[in-house]
């Protein structure tokens, strides 16, 4: 009952934040002088990129946690953060070209920022494909190793516009001299960041719980197949939450 109330409260807060963020981005923020209204894509594009980076960082930490402790919870968190991270990164890759077309005159260019972002998306999609289709006891270990090496691309994406000449604009936030935003634009960025961060947490929580529940069902199936001795073992409290080497793979 308490959990349902907390969940409903969290959903309502997230919806409120997202609605207010939309109002900030479309109404409160001033129209940009050179690009016009299409610049408002920025209020969705940038927060999605930041949240995706944060989710991939969570996946990185959870993968290390899994390799050290081998717990089902770490593995479920790694899977949830990678999956939601891919969703957010997909939004970045879709809104980017929709902004580029009217401003640059092209949908896409192979510059350092765009290419490294596409590579980042492909790394985490391959991580999810590995999780979904690979079978065997070492799948989670391989996925965790891939996640740790894959995370190397995140700082490359972040730094690409600072170290390379790119079609993508130079950073407007923390970009040094000449960079910066109108305070009302800043406000729209921060509200959208809060809204989408809250939304991402909600999705992660749902996906994390789903992974744990699927594990439990899979374990119950395996125990049924093995007979009463295995069922007694599974009923012990210390057996729960730990990921056995075989047959406990969140998909």
Partner 1 sequence: MKFLYLAYIATWTIHLLYILYLTGRYRRLREERKELEKQ
- Answer for the pair 29, 185: CB distance below 8 angstroms, yes or no: yes
Q: Per the structure block, which two tokens stand in for 71?
A: 């717990």
Question: Given the rule CB under 8 A, which of 66-74, 123-131, 143-151, 208-216 is the region that contacts partner 1?
Answer: 208-216
> Distance between CA atoms of 17 and 120, rounded to whole angstroms?
28
Q: For residues 20 and 65, which CB has a smaller minimum distance to partner 1 in the complex?
A: 20
Residue 74: CB minimum distance to partner 1, A: 20
Q: Which of 123, 122, 114, 132 is nearest to 150 (CA)?
A: 123
> Distance between CA atoms of 116 and 154, rounded to whole angstroms?
8
Place of tokens 């002088």: 33
One residue of 38, 54, 122, 128 binding partner 1 per CB under 8 A: 38
| Residue window 154-173: x/- pattern of binding to partner 1, with contact defined by CB under 8 A | --------------------
- Answer for the pair 20, 188: CB distance below 8 angstroms, yes or no: no
Q: Is there binding between residue 95 and partner 1 (CB under 8 A)?
A: yes
Question: Given the rule CB under 8 A, which of 144-152, 158-166, 176-184, 214-222 is the region that contacts partner 1?
Answer: 214-222
Q: Is there binding between residue 99 and partner 1 (CB under 8 A)?
A: yes
Q: Is there binding between residue 240 and partner 1 (CB under 8 A)?
A: no
Host H or E run for residue 118:
helix 112-133
Q: Which of residues 60-89 bind partner 1 (CB under 8 A)?
A: 84, 87
One residue of 78, 199, 243, 249 binding partner 1 per CB under 8 A: 199
| Dihedral sign of CA atoms 200, 40, 180, 191 in order | negative
Q: Which of residues 218-237 bind partner 1 (CB under 8 A)?
A: 220-221, 224
> Distance between CA atoms of 107 and 98, rounded to whole angstroms?
7
CA 248 from centroid of its chain's CA atoms: 23
Residues that bind partner 1 (CB under 8 A): 22, 37-38, 40-41, 44-45, 48, 84, 87, 90-91, 94-95, 98-99, 101-102, 199, 203, 206-207, 210, 213-214, 217, 220-221, 224
């Amino acid at each position: 009952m308490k959990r349902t109330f907390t969940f409903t409260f969290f959903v309502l807060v997230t919806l409120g934040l997202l609605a207010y963020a939309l109002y900030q981005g479309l109404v409160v923020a001033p129209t940009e002088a050179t690009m016009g209204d299409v610049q408002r894509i920025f209020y969705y594009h940038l927060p999605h990129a930041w949240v995706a980076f944060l989710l991939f960082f969570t996946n990185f930490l959870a993968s290390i946690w899994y390799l050290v402790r081998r717990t089902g919870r770490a593995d479920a968190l790694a899977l949830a953060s990678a999956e939601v991270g891919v969703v957010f990164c997909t939004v970045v890759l879709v809104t980017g070209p929709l902004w580029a077309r009217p401003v640059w005159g092209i949908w896409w260019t192979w510059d350092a920022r765009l290419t490294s972002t596409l590579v980042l998306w492909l790394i985490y999609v391959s991580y999810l494909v590995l999780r979904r289709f690979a079978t065997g006891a070492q799948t989670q270990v391989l996925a965790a190793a891939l996640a740790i090496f894959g995370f190397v691309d995140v700082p490359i994406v972040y730094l690409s516009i600072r170290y390379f000449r790119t079609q993508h604009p130079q950073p407007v936030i923390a970009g040094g001299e000449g960079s910066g935003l109108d305070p009302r634009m800043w406000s729209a960025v921060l509200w959208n960041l809060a809204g989408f961060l809250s939304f991402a947490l909600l999705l992660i929580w749902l996906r994390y719980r789903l992974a744990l529940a699927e594990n439990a069902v899979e374990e119950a199936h395996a125990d049924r197949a093995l007979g009463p001795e295995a069922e007694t073992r599974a009923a012990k409290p210390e057996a729960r939450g730990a990921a056995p080497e075989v047959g406990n793979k969140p998909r």
